[in-house]
């Protein structure tokens, strides 16, 4: 594995170090700072000519800063003659605008995919993309991992009886159904009407949750409005205990306060996005690591072997 090198931007160095440790490697040496006017200053401080380089950088908040870091790092590796550059993007920002569903709006997911391709990436490795068609927006190979195996293992350890997995909206039904099947649980759906961005109004529950333990499953938690309203509706419908699980803890704005004042017993997330101390120490938030999943995927990509078993 002498030609395999792992580098990290400033978005989530802790996850990058954990992935590198799983592979028995140290993070590559790079200077990534700022000029006095705020422009990004990047310099690779070791030889990468002919190497298989993996750049770990979720485009999490502040998304514009971290996206530009990723693009500049990829350009630096291309100009340093790396043999192949894989953009490892645990959280893919700008993914929620993935289609033109109203007049005069952009498709930012496609735009960002084009930028990453233009910067020189040879392939991309992501986790729980907001919608699966985003893979087709890249003109290069994309592997989309799922946090489900890590989350399922934790939920099973809770030994919840009479379990129902709940999709917070119609768009997440297939995701919730797959989790329910793995947990041998029932499925319920929250009928939600979104009045505006980041504002959700729960209408009613489709499915029986009376007297049952429930797990709301989604790909990300942003302002937590959706899951907190869903938890309130589930309790009103007679649910006994309410948990929430998601791969990406964006947790912006009033998210923490909403969780602390909600009916949620626990919110289970992964470390695709680093949490600040106030969120990480919150007793209602449980953070699971996906480093082993990413590390194993990187190993198999490097060895040109199948990673399909990691998708379930």
CA-CA distance, 186 to 221, in Å (whole number)? 22
Q: Are 41 and 75 in contact (CB under 8 A)?
A: no
| Token pair for 266 | 């626990």
| Token pair for 215 | 């797990």
Active-site residue (options: 192, 235, 279, 286): 192
Strand partners, 84: 52
Q: Which residue has the tokens 């937590």?
A: 224
Number of alpha helices (DSSP H) and beta strands (DSSP E) in the chain? 9, 14
Q: Which residue has the tokens 């009916």?
A: 263
Q: How many residues does the chain have?
A: 312
Strand 199-206: give its sheet, edge to edge. Answer: 199-206, 186-196, 163-167, 213-221, 241-249, 266-270, 285-288
Tell me the angle at which helices 291-303 and 13-22 cross, rounded to the nearest 10 degrees.
Answer: 60
Q: Which residue has the tokens 């993070």?
A: 27
The 3-state secondary structure of 64-133, one letter per residue: HHHHHHHHHHHHHHHHCCCCEEEEEECCCCCCCCCCCCCCCCCCHHHHHHHHHHHHCCCEEEEECCCCHH
Q: Are 221 and 251 in contact (CB under 8 A)?
A: yes
212: left (phi over 0), alpha (psi -120 to 50) or beta: beta
Is residue 192 part of the annotated active site? The answer reads yes
Give catalytic residues, as residue numbers: 192
């Amino acid at each position: 594995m002498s030609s395999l090198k792992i580098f990290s931007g400033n978005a989530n160095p802790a996850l990058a170090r954990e992935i590198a440790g799983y592979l028995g490697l140290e993070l590559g040496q790079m200077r990534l700072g700022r000029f006095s006017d705020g422009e990004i200053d990047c310099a690779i401080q070791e030889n990468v000519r002919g190497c298989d380089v993996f750049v770990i950088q979720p485009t999490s908040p502040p998304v514009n800063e971290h996206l530009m870091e990723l693009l500049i790092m990829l350009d630096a590796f291309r100009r340093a003659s790396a043999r192949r550059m894989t953009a490892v993007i645990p959280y893919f920002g700008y993914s929620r605008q993935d289609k033109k569903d109203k007049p005069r709006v952009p498709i930012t997911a496609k735009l960002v995919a084009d930028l990453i391709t233009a910067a020189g990436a040879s392939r991309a490795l992501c986790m729980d993309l907001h919608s699966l068609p985003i893979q087709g927006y890249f003109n290069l190979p994309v592997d989309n991992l799922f946090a489900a195996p890590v989350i399922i293992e934790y939920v099973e350890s809770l030994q919840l009886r009479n379990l129902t997995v709940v999709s917070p909206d119609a768009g997440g039904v297939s995701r919730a159904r797959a989790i329910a099947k793995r947990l041998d649980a029932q499925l319920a759906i929250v009928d939600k009407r979104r009045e505006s961005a980041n504002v959700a109004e729960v209408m009613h529950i489709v499915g029986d949750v009376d007297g049952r333990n429930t797990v709301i499953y989604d790909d990300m938690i942003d302002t937590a409005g959706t899951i907190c309203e869903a938890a309130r509706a589930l309790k009103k419908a007679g649910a006994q205990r309410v948990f929430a699980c998601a791969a990406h803890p964006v947790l912006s704005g009033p998210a923490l306060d909403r969780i602390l004042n909600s009916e949620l017993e626990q919110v289970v997330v992964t470390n695709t996005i680093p949490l600040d101390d106030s969120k990480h120490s919150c007793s209602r938030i449980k953070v699971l690591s996906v480093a082993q999943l990413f590390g194993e995927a990187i190993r198999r990509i490097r060895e040109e072997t199948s990673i399909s078993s990691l998708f379930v």
